[in-house]
Structure 1
Amino acid sequence: MNVSELLTDALGRVREQIPDVVGGLGDDDLAWRPDPEANSIAWLVWHLSRIEDDHVAGVAGSEQVWTADGWVDRFGLPFDEGEHGYGMSAADVGKVKVGGDLLAGYYDAVSRRTADYVAGLQPDDLDRVVDRAWDPPVTLGVRLVSVVNEVNAHLGQAQYVRGLLERR
């Protein structure tokens, strides 16, 4: 297995599971929160999609799928178009009220773009510095591992919230 196959597999597993997390739930269920400070399924899936979109576009030097493909308009959220959820208030988390098809469609588009990007990576590419704002500077490999970690963590959280929702 080469580096692009490894990354494609790691992120492709998220792509396979998103439809099950949001499937069969209405907008109110997707926006349900176990308590006022908790994240909803809608927010978690939106956020993990936005983080992957933001980070991969950044290293690829491309426009985010969010704006390039009009997802920002389809979602119609009351945030700046560059918002991706990091550090959001509980009140703002509650403003993410969208349907499952929209959430799954956006992640699918992001995932396809990510797969296209990682398909061409070679092992030496992972050592390229992509962010000098950190000490030590962040390499492409570290950034992509961060993406894998972030999307998987939030996918698991969304699955957990769905379990709580189904048992309430």
Structure 2
Amino acid sequence: MDEYKDVILSGLEECYEGIWNKVEDLTSEELRWIPSQSSNDIQWNIWHIARVEDRWINQRMKNSQELWIENNWYKHFNLKKIDHGNGDSIIKVRQMPNMELSDLKNYFEEVRKITIDYISNITPRELNNIYIAKNRSQTGIWILGHLLVEESQHLGQIAFIRGMMKGINI
């Protein structure tokens, strides 16, 4: 009766693979290219997806330290512990340092490994728990559904930006 776990993990894996398929041949300049002055770039989107997953799974659902902090990724990327992208101004997005794609992928892989393990072993009780974040509360079901939606949306942004640079079927 754990097929729902397979559905969630399959969706997350499709997003994850889609990200790396879209960016594996991009230069560092292309990863930072913006279609307009009020747009995010591909690097920011990848970083934000990883940060969102790290926060929702580790901080909220597991009530543990984010890998961003625990493994000093924030220092590695020369950012702050609290940086995650939600609500960032376009000025802050532009000030983000350049990141090596391999380093970004290593951080995301660490996060994803924890996510897969957690979801593979999640209980119905944990799915129905109420998780409080600031002044909001959500169930585990909502969090995992939101994670799928958010990652899909940002993958779409990555594909769109790539398409603007390289054309659609490249």
Query: Same-fold call, TM > 0.5?
Result: yes
User: What is residue 37 of structure 2 aligned with on the other side?
Assistant: 36
> Take 1:53 and 1:8, find their aligned partners in 2: how far apart are those partners?
15
Structure 1 counterpart SS, 2:99: coil
User: What is residue 15 of structure 1 aligned with on the other side?
Assistant: 16
1:138 CA drift (Å): 1.2
1:1-168 correspondence to structure 2 within 5 Å: 2-57=3-58, 58-77=60-79, 80-96=80-96, 97-131=98-132, 133-134=135-136, 137-167=137-167
Q: Structure 2: where are the runs of 5+ without partners?
A: none
2:62 alignment partner AA: A
> Take 2:71 and 2:44, find their aligned partners in 1: how far apart are those partners?
20
1:165 CA drift (Å): 1.7
Structure 1 counterpart SS, 2:95: coil
1:15 alignment partner AA: Y
> Take 2:152 and 2:76, find their aligned partners in 1: how far apart are those partners?
25
Kindly report the root-mean-square deviation, in angstroms, between the aligned alpha carbons of the 2 structures. Answer: 1.7
Asked if 1 retains the 8 angstrom alpha-carbon contact of 2:61 and 2:131, the reply is yes
Asked if 1 retains the 8 angstrom alpha-carbon contact of 2:19 and 2:158, the reply is no
Asked if 2 retains the 8 angstrom alpha-carbon contact of 1:49 and 1:107, the reply is yes
> Take 1:91 and 1:48, find their aligned partners in 2: how far apart are those partners?
19
Asked if 2 retains the 8 angstrom alpha-carbon contact of 1:51 and 1:84, the reply is yes
1:68 CA drift (Å): 1.6
Deviations 1:56-77 (A, max 9, x none): 1121111111122232222223
Structure 1-normalised TM-score? Answer: 0.88
Structure 2-normalised TM-score? Answer: 0.87
Asked if 1 retains the 8 angstrom alpha-carbon contact of 2:11 and 2:148, the reply is yes
Asked if 2 retains the 8 angstrom alpha-carbon contact of 1:39 and 1:93, the reply is yes
